Amino acid sequence: MSAYMGKLLYINLSDKTSREMDLNPDLAKQFVGGKGFGAKILYDLLPPGCDPLSEQNILMFMPGPVTGTLAPAFRGCVVTKSPLTGTFADSYFGGHFAQEIRYCGYDGLIITGRAAEPSYLYISDGKVEFRTAAGIWGLDTFATVEAIRTDLGDDTVKTACIGPAGEKLVSFALINCEFNRHAGRAGTGAVMGSKNLKAVVLRGSKTVVPADPAGFAAAVDQAYRELVDDETINSFTVDGTAGSIDFANDEQLLPTHNYYNGQFEGASGLNAAAQRKHFWLRNVACAGCPIACGKVGLIKTGRHKLLVSDIVEYETASMVGSNLGISNVREVAYLVKKCDALGLDGMSAGGVAGFAIEAYQKGLITAEDTGGVELKFGDADAVNYLLEVIASRKGLGDLLARGVKAAAAELGGDAVAFAVHVKGLESPAWGPRSVPGMGLALATADRGGCHQRAFPILYECGGEWEGKPVDRLGTKGKGKIVAHLQNYLAALDTLVKCDFGQYGVKDVTYARLLETAVGEKYDVEKLMLLGERVWNQVRLFNLREGFTRADDTLPKRFTNEPLPEGPYAGARVSLEDLSLLLDEYYTARGWDLEGRPTAEKLNQLGLESLPKLINL
């Protein structure tokens, strides 16, 4: 007995076929689930150099072996090759969709091909239906969910869908996994749109049974106690991630005016107190989660009065708020909900909008390009215009829909100097100029600039590592910290953990949950080895796609431009600093100085001669 359902569902949209595939025991043993399954399957099945928007690309929805159990705060991920970066892409989502994959009887969904016409999939307890999406193509994500429920006569189905941006193949389109839960990063929605796939809809009735029910129940109880007793978790329950606004602003990490600075004078208009005042009503939670970081509410005043909104979480409050010079949280809530409806990643959309506004100020984009709309920081109407033209790919929007890296290359001039991205992925809302360890984490993140692979800021801003204070502005030791954090979080992403749950649940408890769920002995050391194996497997994929040490870098805004003012004025992560950080990081990983895993390291991880673990 095991928490694995024992099946993967393979679907080919081109010929409208599907089949269940037995889960390879070696795949389960070596890669566990979630990110691990996605990493190995993508490497095994995808032809090198595959166009991410071709029918050959693979789109996977992957839960983990404890998703759908009573274990608290576990989710799912979408894995594919990114049309925005060309790298491996894994994008995580909460809500209830991932659990329903397990209840349908599967450990993952693997989708390939391209439907001849707009379609959606309805999967119910092993039965797969290919349904027309002709009547819902063009609808926003919220309307799509309601239309599908009406079509099926069932308001309990769980839906993952795209909006107009995904249909138009916007490179940073997201997949909506129902209200305010998204696989948001790296353009997963564009891959779905390229397959003429509007939605995947699930209805399941199976149960997930752990290998050791009594031991698993005890581990679940322990995880709940750790979450309830943790101060950081309690702060998420009270304030959600909006509570990070004040911290980031105080520490000069908050992106402001396209990352020109790290502090925003209007930050108090975006924080948890402002959101509570203007629209929060009650907490909401994902399946099986006691944290309840969501805050559904109603805007009470102003021109967006009566708009229903969830929390404006830290990343989008920053990227669509402070980064664009907007301090009115009601305006930001409206713009973020518009991103959700159109199917745009709010983080990338905020990064692209900030780039466009600065390009307009510097004359690289003109009023002729915008149809007379003036682009300026602090103007919510100008941002609204940008979101609309990007999602529809009209006029200037067609250029911006490709992301800041491609847009800067086409605009030319000094546009590359203020195009803030790593490997093509717009940077998250944590400016790294005064925290070089975070700069290294962004530079080496496997899907491009990402704060979810490692977050050394917690140690650099007054924390300790191995019992010693961390030198905030120093570089020594940061490579080891980042590599360790990346390995640990990669391991947890095979489960698939909630980003916030990790701050409360202890490593030994995660190991015990996994052990009692799957019936395989696990301790913290084995958990760390799992994470390192997964990280190296993804690195092999990116190397095969042509990425090198030269791509493990930061945008010029972070390397060439010091913070202009504030407590850390003059700080930057120079290219010399970054080179030192990379050398230490690669050495800590057992890679050569070009960032390639050595044969010795691959052998240690069991990857050197590992055969394909899945065949179609």
Question: DSSP letters of 270-316?
Answer: TSHHHHHHHTEEEEE--TT-S---EEEEE--SSTTTT-EE----HHH
Q: Regarding the domain delimited by 430-604, which CATH topology (the fold level of the hierarchy) does it fall under?
A: 1.10.599
CATH of domain 241-250+254-425: 1.10.569.10
Delimit the CATH 1.10.599.10 region(s) of the chain: 430-604
Residues of the chain with pLDDT under 50: none
Distance between CA atoms of residues 596 and 615, nearest Å: 27
CA 99 to chain centroid: 18
Delimit the CATH 3.60.9.10 region(s) of the chain: 7-203
Model pLDDT, residue 179:
80
Residue type, 23: L
Q: Pick the closest to residue 416 from 426, 405, 425, 424 (CA basis).
A: 405
Model pLDDT, residue 126:
87
Delimit the CATH 1.10.569.10 region(s) of the chain: 241-250+254-425
Q: What is the biggest distance separating any 2 CA atoms in the chain, rounded to whole angstroms?
A: 68
* Cα distances (Å, whole numbers) of residue 363 to 226, 342, 359, 531: 54, 28, 6, 46
The first and second tokens of residue 363, run together, are 């004359």
Model pLDDT, residue 551:
98
Model pLDDT, residue 178:
83
Would the CA dihedral through 517, 520, 526, 528 be positive or negative?
negative
Superfamily of domain 7-203 in CATH is: Aldehyde ferredoxin oxidoreductase, N-terminal domain (3.60.9.10)
Distance between CA atoms of residues 137 and 603, nearest Å: 48
The first and second tokens of residue 335, run together, are 């713009």
